Amino acid sequence: MLDLNGLTKEYGAFRALRGVTLTATDAEVFGLLGPNGAGKTTLLRILATLLQPTGGSGTVCGLDLRRDAEAIRRAVGVVNGGMGLPARLTGREILRSFAGLYSLNRAHTEARIAELDERLELGRTLDIRASEYSSGMKQKVVIARAVLHDPALLILDEAASGLDIFARRSLLDFVQASRAPGRLTVYSTHVMSEAEEVCDRVAILHHGQLLTVGRIPEVLHATGERTLERAFFELVRAHDQRAGVAHAV
């Protein structure tokens, strides 16, 4: 489903990703964790083919990140914290206009909107303009728009940031329910409790390098810690200590 081999990304002289190798299978929620500036958004943008890697290779749903960008875009849905919506349109109009981009027919679109209304409790958001949305209402429509075409890979990048506890709960429940054959959800966050709740496996990225990839109990066991947050601190600390030693030699 997702197969990355030594992916690198340089912005000028700055190395944002330093050889990322990982695989993820369908029917799982895969967590991408890391402190600010770790390279999470860079990696997710490469998966969505919004950025080209500088080196290495990778496939999404068997499609090549470099050669098959257009096909990958049809197979991917993206949600990030900063997405905008056209202020003058209602939720239903926004979803219908997106359906047009994906060439979904009218009957399919209406059935899908009804299904997402039920799953995401879109309610009033469908019939009032986006300019009148609260941030939780906005995020629901952003998510509905991202999954309207039933993408094989759903990428959520800090999707819960800025949401109140109700909207956050409904997002996490939606992610929990997203596991299905042929579907992979990649959930990026720096909030460890969210990852602990919804992710089956996690990768911890720091300074563009993967410090670990595994099921959460394996990560806890390997670090001897009780919580993912403690395991995260320990892995980052140990890495920085080794890097400090390496710099000092």
Ligand X SMILES: Nc1ncnc2c1ncn2[C@@H]1O[C@H](COP(=O)(O)OP(=O)(O)OP(=O)(O)O)[C@@H](O)[C@H]1O
Point out which residues bind ligand X (CB under 6 A).
11, 14, 16, 34, 36-42, 190
- Nearer to ligand X (CB atom), residue 138 or residue 206: 206
**Alpha carbons 40 and 44: distance in angstroms, whole number:** 6
- Nearer to ligand X (CB atom), residue 9 or residue 92: 9
End-to-end, the C-alpha distance of the chain in Å comes to 41
- Could you tell me the sign of the dihedral formed by the alpha carbons of 210, 208, 3, 77, in that order? positive
How many other β-carbons are positioned within 10 Å of the β-carbon of residue 207? 18
Shortest distance in whole angstroms from residue 210 CB to ligand X: 12
Helix 106-120 vs helix 91-101: crossing angle, to nearest 10: 130
| CB-based contact 176:120 (threshold 8 Å) | no
- Nearer to ligand X (CB atom), residue 32 or residue 120: 32
Shortest distance in whole angstroms from residue 105 CB to ligand X: 37
Residue 195: exposed, middle, or buried by beta-carbon count in 10 A (0-12, 13-18, 19+)? buried
From 236, 227, 221, 234, select the one nearest 192 (Cα to Cα): 227
- Nearer to ligand X (CB atom), residue 108 or residue 162: 162
- Nearer to ligand X (CB atom), residue 34 or residue 53: 34
- Nearer to ligand X (CB atom), residue 36 or residue 105: 36
**Alpha carbons 32 and 46: distance in angstroms, whole number:** 14
| CB-based contact 192:199 (threshold 8 Å) | no
**Alpha carbons 7 and 64: distance in angstroms, whole number:** 13
Shortest distance in whole angstroms from residue 35 CB to ligand X: 7
- Nearer to ligand X (CB atom), residue 37 or residue 244: 37
Shortest distance in whole angstroms from residue 3 CB to ligand X: 20
Shortest distance in whole angstroms from residue 10 CB to ligand X: 9
Residue 244: exposed, middle, or buried by beta-carbon count in 10 A (0-12, 13-18, 19+)? exposed
Shortest distance in whole angstroms from residue 179 CB to ligand X: 24
Shortest distance in whole angstroms from residue 46 CB to ligand X: 10
- Alpha carbon 99 to its chain centroid, in Å, reads 21
